[in-house]
């Protein structure tokens, strides 16, 4: 069996507003548009990967929040209706997605061997979280690739950003090992925003872009600092500054996705491609791709 490969790593946030604005047939509410820069960013990401052959998507979603270890979807298919509990007016989506259970189990087993608390989720009534559905749709609206969906272990809540990051770096390491051992070509995705301070009010129509902006200047500065690190191949600095970024920007990196992603990519020293940045109800969101397929030498 040939060696597996991570062809790309992506930061691909999940605000339901993007699916709402895009008006896919699965989503019942209809918008006039909005958040175009981010939606164009997703278009550029999809175009960038259009000619790339891969077998599966491994995605860590901050909205499947688990407090007793890290969990993996463990059945071959999940089909149901996803209604966002926070923005039900925007997101009611019929999904039908396939899981690469074999790869999920392989990552699970390696994580267990490494001493991490893990579980396979095999209850057929389980509803996949709307974060995974949103990112899954925006990244691959045809849903023609199987996924591995990993929960967000809220170890930061129980311990600290530092402990969370140690655990997520370990999870990233075993995720990488499992992918390389699997012989499969995989895209890994962290589905989280950057700064994460929401507005507490909303405009009369959600897509009124005259009301959309970053929640505060401090949040903007943090987002730009992170993006500069993304664009210049300084992933280690992102990990180094993760505690301050997570605390001060109230960043959604608290769910561990960004640390896991960078670890899975072996802490890339090559530039990430910024496909888009924009705010959604005040939060900062970047769509970034690390084209690992073009930098194999970096980790060999």
Partner 1 sequence: MSEGELIGSYIVPVHPHTVLAPEQNEGWGRLRTAYDDAAQRIKESGADLLIIYSTTWPSIIGHQIIADPNPEWVMVDHDFHELGSIPYSFNIDEKFAHAWNEANEKRGLKSRTVAYHGFPIDVGSVVALKLLNPDNAIPAVIVSSNVYANRAETTVLAKACMDVVKATGRKAIAITAMSLSNRMFTKPIEPKDDRIHSLKDDEWNLKILELLGEGRLEDVGQLSRTIHRQIRVNKVVAFKPMWWLSGMNSNRNNLTGQVLAYEALHGAGGAVVHLDPTPSGAGDIEYDEDDVEYFAGERNVLDGDQSDHQEIDSVNVESKPGEPQENGPALWDPTEGKDSVNSAAAPKPVGAYPHARRVGDLLYLSGVGPRQPGTNAIPGGPIHDADGKPLNYDIKAQTQAVVDNITRILEEAGGTINDVLDVTSFLVDMDRDFQGYNEVWAETLGQVGPTRTTLAIRALPTPIAVEMKVIAKAPPAE
- Rounded Cα distance between 44 and 46, Å, is 5
Name the nearest CA neighbour of 264 among 2, 68, 5, 12: 5
Of 33 and 88, nearer to partner 1 (C-beta) is 88
State the DSSP code for 129: P
- Least separation in angstroms between residue 46's CB and partner 1 is 28
Give the E-state strand segments of the chain in sequence order. 5-11, 56-66, 70-73, 77-83, 92-98, 118-121, 147-153, 185-190, 273-280, 283-290
| Residue 210 near residue 217 (C-beta atoms within 8 A) | no
Enumerate binding residues for partner 1 (CB under 8 A).
64-69, 71, 80-81, 83, 85-89, 92, 117, 119, 121-123, 125-127, 129, 151, 154-155, 157-158, 197-203, 211, 213, 215-217, 281-282
- Least separation in angstroms between residue 36's CB and partner 1 is 19
- Rounded Cα distance between 147 and 130, Å, is 14
- Least separation in angstroms between residue 133's CB and partner 1 is 12
Of 60 and 121, nearer to partner 1 (C-beta) is 121
Q: Angle at which helices 36-48 and 130-139 pack, to 10 degrees?
A: 60
Of 47 and 157, nearer to partner 1 (C-beta) is 157
- Least separation in angstroms between residue 158's CB and partner 1 is 6
| Residue 186 near residue 104 (C-beta atoms within 8 A) | no
- Least separation in angstroms between residue 8's CB and partner 1 is 28
Scanning the structure block, which residue is given the tokens 């548009």? 33
Of 135 and 234, nearer to partner 1 (C-beta) is 135
Q: In DSSP terms, which residues pair with 65 in a beta bridge?
A: 152
Query: Distance between alpha carbon 20 and the CA centroid of its chain, in Å?
Result: 18
DSSP for 79-119, please give it: EEEEE-SS-TTT-EEEEEEEB-HHHHHHHHHHHHHTT--EE
- Least separation in angstroms between residue 61's CB and partner 1 is 11
- Rounded Cα distance between 248 and 127, Å, is 32
- Least separation in angstroms between residue 76's CB and partner 1 is 16
- Least separation in angstroms between residue 157's CB and partner 1 is 5
Of 216 and 294, nearer to partner 1 (C-beta) is 216
- Rounded Cα distance between 18 and 8, Å, is 22
Of 154 and 173, nearer to partner 1 (C-beta) is 154
Q: Angle at which helices 235-248 and 217-231 pack, to 10 degrees?
A: 170
Of 198 and 225, nearer to partner 1 (C-beta) is 198
Of 151 and 182, nearer to partner 1 (C-beta) is 151
């Amino acid at each position: 069996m040939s060696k597996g490969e991570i062809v790309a790593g992506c930061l691909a946030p999940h605000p339901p507003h993007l699916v709402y604005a895009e008006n896919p047939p699965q989503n019942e509410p209809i918008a006039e548009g909005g958040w175009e820069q981010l939606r164009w960013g997703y278009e550029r990401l999809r175009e960038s990967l259009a000619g790339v052959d891969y077998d599966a998507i491994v995605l860590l979603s901050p909205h499947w929040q688990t407090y007793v270890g890290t969990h993996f979807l463990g059945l071959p298919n999940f089909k149901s209706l996803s209604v966002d509990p926070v923005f039900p007016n925007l997101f009611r989506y019929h999904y039908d997605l396939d899981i690469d259970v074999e790869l999920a189990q392989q990552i699970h087993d390696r994580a267990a061997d490494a001493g991490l608390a893990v579980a396979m989720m095999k209850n057929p009534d389980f509803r996949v979280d709307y974060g995974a559905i949103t990112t899954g749709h925006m990244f691959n609206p045809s849903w023609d690739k199987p996924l591995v969906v990993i929960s967000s272990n809220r170890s930061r809540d129980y311990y600290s950003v530092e402990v969370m990051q140690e655990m997520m770096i370990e999870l990233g390491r075993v995720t990488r090992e499992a992918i390389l051992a699997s012989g499969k070509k995989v895209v890994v995705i962290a589905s989280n925003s950057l700064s994460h301070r929401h507005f507490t009010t909303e405009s009369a129509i959600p897509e009124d872009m005259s009301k959309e902006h970053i929640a505060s200047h401090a949040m903007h500065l943090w987002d730009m600092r992170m993006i500069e690190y993304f664009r210049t191949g300084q992933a280690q600095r992102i990990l180094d500054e993760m505690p301050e970024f997570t605390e001060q920007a109230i960043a959604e990196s608290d769910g561990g996705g960004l640390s896991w992603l960078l670890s899975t990519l072996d802490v890339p020293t090559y530039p990430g491609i910024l496909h888009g940045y924009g705010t959604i109800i005040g939060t900062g969101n970047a769509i970034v791709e690390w084209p690992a397929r073009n930098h194999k030498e970096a980790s060999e």
